[in-house]
Every structure is written in C-alpha cells, then in structure tokens.
Homo-oligomer: A and B are copies of this chain.
Amino acid sequence: MMAESPRRGVPEATVGRLPGYLRALTGLADRGRSSVSSDELAELTGVRGAQVRKDLSSLGSHGVRGVGYDVTRLSDQIAAELGLLEERPVVIVGIGNLGRALASYSGLATRGFRVAALLDVDPEVVGTEVDGLVVRPLGDLGALAELLSPVAVGVIATPGAAAQDVADLLVEHGVRSILTFAPVVLRLPDAVHVRAVDLASELQILAFHEHQRELAGAGEDVG
C-alpha cells in the first residue's frame, strides 16, 4: 500500500488548539499516563470530545478504537506538526518589563523555543543581562544571522510608536513570523505571519461582557 498523506491543510481553528492538546499531553506523560481518550483530553483542554477527534483526525492521527490515543505518539505527532522537533529561536525586541517577562519565561524553553537574542535601543538597557543573555543594540540584528536558524520568530515588546520600524527591520533580516504586543496594526508583506496580542483589547472584550451582564441584571425582575 502507498504511504497515505497524513493530511492536506489543517484548519486554522484546529491549529489554534494544538498547543493546548500538546500541553495536556505533556502533563499526562509527566504523570506516567500512556493513553488517553478524546473525552478526557477534551476535559483537560476545555473543548468537546467530538472536537478533539475531528482535530486529531485532520492530522491523520490514529487512535485506537476502544482504547484512545497513545500519549507519547500523539504528543510527538503534534510537536512535529508544529515544527517543534527542532528548537526554534526567538528574538525579543524591546526589553522593558514585558520583554524581560518574556525573556525569563521558562515556558518557552520547555515548549520548543530558545531565546536567541534580546534587542533594545535604549543605551541604558543595552549591555545589561537578562536571564543569562546580554541585551544587544537593535543594529546588531544583522550580525546575529547564525543564531537565528532555523528561521527565528520575532517578538515585539516595544512601545507602539516603535513597533512598525522594528517589524520592518525584522522582516528585512528574514523573519517571517511575528508576535507583537504593540497596540498598532502592522503593515507588512502578506507573506509575513503576524499575531497581535493587545492587552487593552482583551480587557475591553471582557468589559463588554461585564457590561452586558450589568444591563441584563438591571433589566430583570426586581425582587
């Protein structure tokens, strides 16, 4: 028989859940579990069982009927899918409190990444050491090419005003995936993947729901 192609195109919504599955599987493996059912994995990650099965089947996964999924095998398969079999370098630009938080976050190392470089423009910050790494001037980016292979992911933790320039610079040096915390919309070539986390937006979304509840409460029967 011919090798079946595991899948073509994992749906984006599924990709978004893979890290959660991987995290749960790592936890299970640490506790010595060797197999897990879709319902249990669902429980651990806060989704539905059917969802887990659909997601995993889109990876071409093979669970065992009547038993479940092999924890190690599935974990490896997801890690492979995410491209984490090899440690991926991360460059963090902007070493304020946020940049420092990211730089010293041990979860990066345990989940497939290596902080390869810390960059900043502030001469007060450049040269200081964070979690064993010396902060370099932004201009050094070009000199770091060999540290950034396989292609690094860029993290922007600068003030909003600097974010676009930093993003352009990263892209110039070959970065194609950027995680930004700056509250601005980055204009970049379509080929660059950007994920934006905006703290204030997250809070505003929560505020919306809070507000809706307040309205609902006010409108309800009194007494």
Given A15-B208, A83-B207, A200-B108, verify A150-B195 contact (CB < 8 Å): no
User: Is A221 an interface residue when CB atoms closer than 8 A count as contact?
Assistant: no
Partner of A207, one of B44, B88, B178: B88
- Asked whether, in the complex, the Cβ of A199 is within 8 Å of the Cβ of B19, the reply is no
Residues 13-66 of A at the B interface (beta carbon under 8 Å): 15-16, 18-20, 22-23, 44-46
- Chain B residues positioned under 8 Å from A97 (CB to CB): 97-98, 100-101, 104
How near does chain B come to A173, taking the closest CB pair, in angstroms?
A: 15
The interface-forming segment of A119-127, A136-144, A209-217 is: A209-217
What CA separation (Å) do A176 and B210 show in the bound complex?
A: 7
Give how many copies assemble into the complex.
Answer: 2
What CA separation (Å) do A177 and B178 show in the bound complex?
A: 28
Give 21 A-B contacts (CB < 8 Å), ordered by A residue.
A15-B205, A18-B204, A19-B198, A22-B204, A45-B185, A81-B211, A82-B204, A83-B208, A83-B214, A84-B207, A97-B97, A97-B98, A98-B98, A107-B183, A108-B200, A111-B203, A113-B203, A151-B214, A177-B207, A177-B210, A195-B202
| A-B complex: 6 closest residue pairs judged by Cβ atoms | A83-B211, A97-B101, A19-B201, A98-B101, A177-B206, A111-B200
